[in-house]
Structure 1
């Protein structure tokens, strides 16, 4: 009996991270976790996986085999605290949860006909069972999966209604004399002070509202994705506007950014996977390559208040070598670092550069990094790296002048080795003055000198 027979599966991204539900937020990561149904031996256990506690589910992921299952928190009836005894000090910490299930033992999110006790075994050695139980109990009490979305228009309507009532019920005192002026000034100061207190008294509430807006944008994006197949016969203009709307929603932010608080020792590992999923869209828009500094700005903007340092970004990119992700970190000879898609081909870029360099104007004046940037649709700094890389391959020649770098098609490779001395002889003759070139055929001494020079070079 497979694990999928009693636990629903989880969809994973290309980097191995779970696809979260709209509004779902990751709260805690724990490695080396077993899931067992001790009371029902017919249900196969899950061994040594990554357990992720979210606001909606308990996710178990096998990072090696790339399969995952989850336990909906809506099915949890009770969570038993870890036992404290002398025996438990020498064994792996265990936490038991009672969940609803159907008659076949499959875990359901609704009301099942029976229940089963699932044991969470922490074999990592560094896991804190008390901290996990506290976080699990906190998420269960919040019941985020049951919270209904509050309509913003209704809230605004209530605020306007309450404001209008308050405004009509307020009695205005006439401003008369010095006492009236002082009273008016006092009212203005009190109103300003109250506004400042309301604005700064609770920053956490402000951050919570920001997260709600990101969650709302994610729900809208999911609806657009689900409706794209049904409306495939729409006109191009409508489809283009929907694509722009979807890209805008993707740039709003990451709903559940990986943090040091939630991931702990797994912070850089999970950050690396989340970054690999994030750069997929920017790489598609930039031709398969984007500067590392640009990724740093885009990623931090999407994470909102959960900013990362440049060192964290470098460590996350360095971990891509261990995982099967579609992106890689690349460093050019000049020291410029970029993030590149594994599907990116240097040969295709070189072919476009050579085609540009063979145009009539480029054959005379050469091409600059700005010219290549316009053709490739990338930043001039990256275009310059591509030109230098093409030069190292022998495809281009560089000319450095006060005006900057200019690159030309490499014609030297077109010369045949057998005609090298012939080219030298032509250049030698061309170096003579006009009278000598006119009498070159009659001047045997010059011909003998040239022939002797050629024979010496051949030796």
Structure 2
């Protein structure tokens, strides 16, 4: 702890904050330091600790003082720690909370977790050693001769303006790089969709030794990568026209998945399925609901249904309500009783849809319920049994 010096906690010129973590306690070797919980700040040049309650209590340690560090796992009643081994204390060190220490290492105890990311970022800074390439402060002509530990700090309006300009340039660079990567990803996604269509068309003739089952399976893998030309506001405007065109595309896309799932899917499942297929052109929940409401006006083979509980589903027009009720009654009668979870496993449905089918059969009077501490269980309605 005698390597730490008092500081005001302000970043110097060319110094950048890397990461900060609350709930960190300092140890002088194996002994707990006479300091409360604080905030550990890692910069490109220093390790700074500031008291959470008294911000004027702030100390720092140059990263150049660090020899190596290691992680100490948490135990029963013990927090995870990072053990930092340090070089001997220099003679011209500025004053700090400890004048002498018998230990050559300190510990950072993380009471609120965060030690994994802090350890990773510390490792990066020790590898890059940015404090050597960009000194934390540059000499600035001054008549006052204001110095701290042999280094001249940038103070006043000039120092503040310089730091703000550096921050702005760094932020602009990060934003530019992020959007550049995003643009490349969107271009690559479109290329992959076009490639999948091209390969799918070429294997229609089943050239070579590809069997029919393999051909169908391979085509499904390729086409599941995305919709080739998704309906968007850019291509089809906004408002009713956009929702009508979107409904037509959904009607074509959802036909096969609905047939595979017994003719009905929860709207949340539809939302995930559609957005996965659309790739970068994601659909909002509001647009999906408005598009599904257009199924019946467009006379598509699908419809949006809202159960009494408020659960919304998309189902095929050919999906018979009588068949749903009969299926629920038959399964409950065969098993004697069923919960929604058990019914879902039998039919391969989600628990939400299984429960709605059972509630529908109950509403029609074919089954009845027993709602106890063990959960909701459905039984055949013996009063309706001939």
TM-score normalised over the length of structure 1: 0.43
Match status 1:216 vs 2:216: no
Deviation at 1:207, TM superposition (A): 1.3
Match of 2:277 among 295, 302, 305: 302
Paired with 1:250 and 1:281, the residues of 2 have a C-alpha distance of 13
Aligned to 2:156: none
CA distance in 1, matches of 2:374, 2:198: 52
Residue in 1 that maps onto 2:330: 355
Ranges in structure 2 where 5+ consecutive residues have no aligned partner? 1-127, 134-172
The residue correspondences of 1:362-373 to structure 2 (distance < 5 A) are 362-363=335-336, 366-373=337-344
Q: Render the CA deviation track for 1:349-378: whole Å, top value 9, x for unaligned.
A: 33332222222xx32xx1111121122211
Residues 238-257 of structure 1 aligned to structure 2 (within 5 Å): 238-257=211-230
Residue 397 and residue 212 in structure 1: after superposition, are their counterparts in 2 closer, same or farther (change >3 A)? same
Residue of structure 2 in register with 1:60 after alignment? none
Instruction: Figure out how many residues of one structure are paired with residues of the other and give that number.
Output: 217
Q: 1:331 aligns with which of 281, 306, 318?
A: 306
Distance 1:207 1:245 in 2: 24
**3-state SS of paired residue (1:320):** coil
Q: In structure 2, which of residues 205, 215, 221 is the aligned counterpart of residue 227 of structure 1? A: 205
Question: Deviation string for 1:171-201 (max 9, x for gaps)?
Answer: xxxxxxxxxx99xx98xxxxxxx9x998864
Does the Cα contact within 8 Å between 2:329 and 2:361 map onto a contact in 1? no
Tell me the distance in 1 between the aligned counterparts of 2:178 and 2:385: 72
Give the TM-score of the pair, scaled to structure 2.
0.51
Instruction: For 1:414 and 1:259, locate their aligned partners in 2 and report how far apart those are by CA, in whole Å.
Output: 53
Distance 1:219 1:271 in 2: 24
Q: Name stretches of at least 5 consecutive residues in structure 1 with no aligned partner.
A: 1-180, 187-193, 416-459
Cα distance change of structure 1 residues 202 and 287 upon mapping to structure 2, 3 Å threshold: same
Choose 1 or 2 for highest CA Rg. 1
User: Does the C-alpha gap of structure 1 residues 223 and 372 become closer, same or farther in structure 2, counting only changes over 3 Å?
Assistant: farther
SS of the aligned residue for 2:294 comes to helix
Which segment drifts farther, 263-272 or 209-218? 263-272
1:289 to 264, 272, 288: 264
1:381 matched to 2:345? The reply is no
Alignment map for 1:97-176 (pairs within 5 Å):
none
Comparing 245-254 with 385-394, greater Cα deviation is found at 245-254
CA distance in 1, matches of 2:235, 2:205: 33
1:407 equivalent in structure 2 = 378
Q: 2: CA distance between counterparts of 1:344 and 1:328?
A: 10
Counterpart CA distance in 2 for 1:332 and 1:240 is 38
SS in 1 for 2:293: helix
User: Structure 1 residue 202: deviation in Å?
Assistant: 5.5
Take 1:412 and 1:199, find their aligned partners in 2: how far apart are those partners?
A: 67
Q: CA deviation at 1:208?
A: 1.4
Give the RMSD, CA atoms, in angstroms.
2.9
How big is each residue's C-alpha offset from its partner over 1:25-67, in whole Å with a ceiling of 9 and x where there is no partner?
xxxxxxxxxxxxxxxxxxxxxxxxxxxxxxxxxxxxxxxxxxx
Q: Hey, what does 1:260 align to over in structure 2?
A: 233
